[in-house]
Amino acid sequence: MKNLLLMVCSLVFGFYQMTAQNFDIKSPDGRIQLKVTHSDKISWSVSLNGNLIIEKAEAGMDFSSNTDFGYDPKIKSHAIKSASQNIHAVISRKDSDIKDEYTELSITYKGNYKINFRAYNDGVAYQFMDEAKAVRNIISEKVSFTFPKGSRSLFPQEESMYSHNERLYLDKSLTDIQSKHFCSLPVMFTTDKAKVLFTETALHDYPGLFLKGTGSTTLDAQFPKYVLEAVDKDGRSDRVQTITKEADYIAKTSGDRAYPWRVFIISDDDRTFVESNLSYQLAKPNVLQNTDWIKPGKVAWDWYNDNNIFGVDFKAGLNTETYKYFIDFAAMNKIEYVILDEGWTKSTTQILDFNPAMDVKELIRYGKEKGVGIILWVLWKPLDANLLPILQAYKSWGAKGIKIDYMQRNDQYMVTSYEQIARECAKLEMLVDFHGAFKPSGLERMYPNVMNYEGVLGNENNKWSDEITPEHTVTIPFIRMVAGPMDFTPGAMINKEHKNFSISFTRPMSMGTRAHQVAMYVVYEAPLQMMCESPSIYYKEQETVDFITQIPTVWDETKVLQGSVGNYIVVARKKAEKWYIGGMTDADARELPIDLSFLGDGSFSMEVFADGINVDKYAEDYKKEIIEVNKNAKVTAKMASGGGWSAIITKKQ
């Protein structure tokens, strides 16, 4: 009897030990459940409203020495906690105050490492923490997840990891994504019950993640190797390199650090993805003590329009007279900045010497006199070779910031270079716009002088392709913009219906209506928001300019009123006491009801910019009107094919 009792106790204790290796946490609202299991690996799964969304995922890290993470894991301890706090955004790209509420499971393992899992109302995330303090190489990281059968992806497929990460989103069944296919982030997946947006944040001193297919519903991570040697490529040595030697590892580390958060935003409502702040919430907090000098705003931009100004008595081009014209236009319209894009330097590698036709110091002085700041475009490669002297020179001239281009790498050195540039620019009180860049990965919270990232197939592609369709422009808010601000460069005034669109490098046009372009200023998040058209054309379209320049570039509050990935979007954003609404549609004409209940009590004046009655034949046709509304008013955003609808709402006194 005693032996039987001991056997039963032993079985119970063994069962307890086995189940003790499994943990469940739920989001604060209870809709998302995350389960973590342990065997010879760390595995996890996620459900939404009881429906399995991610069937199985695995996490681990393989090192050159000492303990690997997640392989035959031995648990030392674990803790579960609930947290609720408020984050105030220094530069409020979406919301000035963000409720940061989650349930966290923290598991500590033998071998001096731990993993933190978090469940939020809009998704889940995990992060490895290294406490070993060991100098070693990271051979690889295991990031693998499996979706239910029948799942699909809007897949930003890449041809190489040496990339600007400017892609179309290909609608693919996961089983059609083979091992030779891989994508950059962020990427969206669709199951029968919900969508999942996968990205990463708090990316520091570590390579960026790509995802590759397997021919099944499982996807695996892959990373660029640590670069040992890169040589100049003939013909474009100022900006393009050939990586000739790579290590057999992806990164070097000295331990005692946090690795990037792997972020999964999960929802059965497409609007959630645009409203989510999860990438920002999980990023490292602001490290700058003084941020008063950081001034978002609009930018008159030259490169898209090829300096094509007219009606003047001087030859337009890369010269002082042309850029004074840009500055005058900006000053007249209270546009905060002008960019001097490619061509202001003596050559693209001689970036401390001026183009002989351009007096850059005089332009900066003239801009200051007119209340317009100057931002200087620069290539990454020559800047990286002589960073501090170049930045100090630009600062001494009076430049307000830099637009840095042609990074096109995601390896550890490049990620670290981004942070070094952000840090050194912050010391000099200079803004940063990362063009030719990978997606935002949290650096913009840590260094709020980082305004924008490109990493998006944007308006400039109109100069050489027909890929910037209305379907594309209503897809990117739900995918690329979820990671953070995007330098799409809106504001084209030459607008064409699909059938009349043609490619022109020097006189580019946009596909879709005028109102579609205007709505981007509300829908698209970019603290430095470009105005891409020629000032000469803007002068002829002053009514449109007057509407656009009323729209802020940072926001106190965001609400997505309507949203369907790749189909349509209607966003309401608040700044101070005014509300702004932007609506966009794909190739289908739509009439979408606008719920104004967020306005509160009182009467309001609504200034509307909408598609004109003849926009089907002349895409630049628009209608402006002012109507009186209140929170109970019935308003419809009527949009033509490729159309848009915008409103500025002011409370009446």
Among all residues, which ones are annotated catalytic? 405, 460
Instruction: Report in angstroms the alpha-carbon separations of 424 from 372, 399, 641.
Output: 23, 14, 46
Tokens of 513: 């209506």
Q: Which helix (H) or strand (E) segment is 417 a member of? A: helix 412-427
* C-alpha span between 93 and 296 (Å, rounded): 10
* C-alpha span between 464 and 502 (Å, rounded): 9
Detail the DSSP E strand segments found in 121-260. Answer: 123-130, 136-146, 152-155, 157-158, 170-173, 182-183, 187-190, 195-201, 210-212, 218-222, 227-232, 241-246, 251-253, 257-258
* C-alpha span between 22 and 29 (Å, rounded): 22
Tell me, what DSSP letter sits at residue 207? P
Question: Residue 484: left (phi > 0), alpha (psi -120 to 50), or beta?
Answer: left
* C-alpha span between 294 and 195 (Å, rounded): 36
- CB of 429 closer than 8 Å to CB of 274: no
Type of residue found at 145:
F
Tokens of 63: 């090192």
Tokens of 242: 């050939």
Return the bridge partners of 57, or none: 44, 145
* C-alpha span between 287 and 420 (Å, rounded): 13
Alpha helices (H) in 297-372, listed in sequence order: 320-332, 360-370
The total of other beta-carbon atoms located within 10 Å of residue 56's CB is 16
* C-alpha span between 408 and 227 (Å, rounded): 13
* C-alpha span between 488 and 491 (Å, rounded): 10
* C-alpha span between 58 and 43 (Å, rounded): 5
Helices and strands (H and E) in the chain: how many? 14, 39
